[in-house]
Amino acid sequence: MSTSAVNQSIAVKSAVLHRVRVPFVEPFRISNGVVAEKDAILIELTTGDGVAGWGEASPMSGAFYSSDTPDSSWTALKEQFVPALLSLDHVDPARCHEFLREQPGDQFSRAGIEGAVWDAYAHTRGMALCELFGIQPRAVPSGVAIGIFDTIDELLERVQRYVADGYQRVKIKIQPGWDSEPVAAIRAKFPELPLLVDANAAYTIDDLQIFRELDRFQLMMIEQPLAAKAVAEAGELQKHLKTPLCADESAESLAALEQLIGNKAARIINIKVQRVGGLSEAHLMLQAARAAGLQCWVGTMPELGIASAQALQLAMHAGFSFPTDVEASSRWYIDDVVEPAIEIDNNGFIEVPRGAGSGFRVSREKVERYTTAIEKVVS
């Protein structure tokens, strides 16, 4: 990040945790299960100067992508992270991730707390988050992620819809029994479509033949084919394929990234701000991955607009090679908690509003509308 941008700290005087539930437009299905609403925790910090900063801790319900859940993050924030943060006289945003590493708890909570700290600091300075990280503003290319359906006809209809909306590439979820056939159907109808598949760790190295079948479809990448800890096996699998493997669940930290690099287990890294513990950790992982010759892109859980907007500030970094998974608000939700809503243009780009913080405003009225629980903490 910029060495000159961070030259003051902030005093955080109070925190409010908002537990919110926002319904999805339609249920989202992957190999691990189905989810129909976004259950997230919004963190609102207020400084001694009265400046508010917002963050979001956004694990999926039911341990969808990880062992962490909204319930476990709520407990960790309320009992560990928020009290620890409020015990500090001043918070240096550039060092906050180091402090949070030392606290027990989950990565999603760390990401939410750090996001709120950076947001409060950015509004205190009147600067965009990208400026604080030394990132030049640009429009962010967006790709769509599509779940698993009961029929190939349903899948093709969704692909057609999102291609017409302008998304620059399509990702489909796969699982055993739903892999080469749907990919072949998409390729037959959309032969030139930039396409990738995401297995969410649903396969083993014994499924090599399936990946060899997928290898003939000119895919951009195969995302997380094996279990998160099966790093050596992923390195062996990559030796047999032309298609690059992309690490997602395996790329949970800088230490995990080092293992991936050492085993040559991926050529591409999906960096999710929530999964790795915040913007600073994500930025460090980008630098490490690029130094090792790996390509990167910004993923999503997906999150609501607060975390998505902050991820877009990072996704403007020129070091990211592929369209982000951050999509239009209306792609996922019947509503969102930021204004304006996140939108893509006809060419598949997200134009990030200029302004302090993420460029988007948090709608307190919408936050209150979807709040199911609230916790206030004062230092």
Q: Which residues are designated catalytic?
A: 173, 272
Annotate 231-265 with DSSP letters as a single string: HHHHHHHHHT-SSPEEESTT-SSHHHHHHHHHTT-
Q: How far apart are CA 159 and CA 172, in angstroms?
A: 9
* Closest-CA residue to 53 (of 278, 306, 305, 298): 306
Write the CB contacts of 104 (distance below 8 Å, at least 6 apart in sequence). 76, 80
Q: Is residue 59 reached through a cis peptide bond, with omega within 30 degrees of 0 on the bond before it? A: no
Residue 378, judged by CB atoms within 10 A of its CB (0-12, 13-18, 19+), counts as exposed
* Closest-CA residue to 31 (of 177, 242, 163, 185): 177
Partnered with residue 41 across adjacent β-strands are: 19, 57
Q: Classify 70 as helix, strand or coil.
A: helix
Q: How far apart are CA 200 and CA 224, in angstroms?
A: 5
Q: How far apart are CA 285 and CA 322, in angstroms?
A: 16
* DSSP label at residue 103: S
Amino acid at 160: Q
Q: Which helix (H) or strand (E) holds 93?
A: helix 93-101
* Closest-CA residue to 153 (of 186, 116, 193): 186
Q: Which helix (H) or strand (E) holds 330?
A: helix 329-332
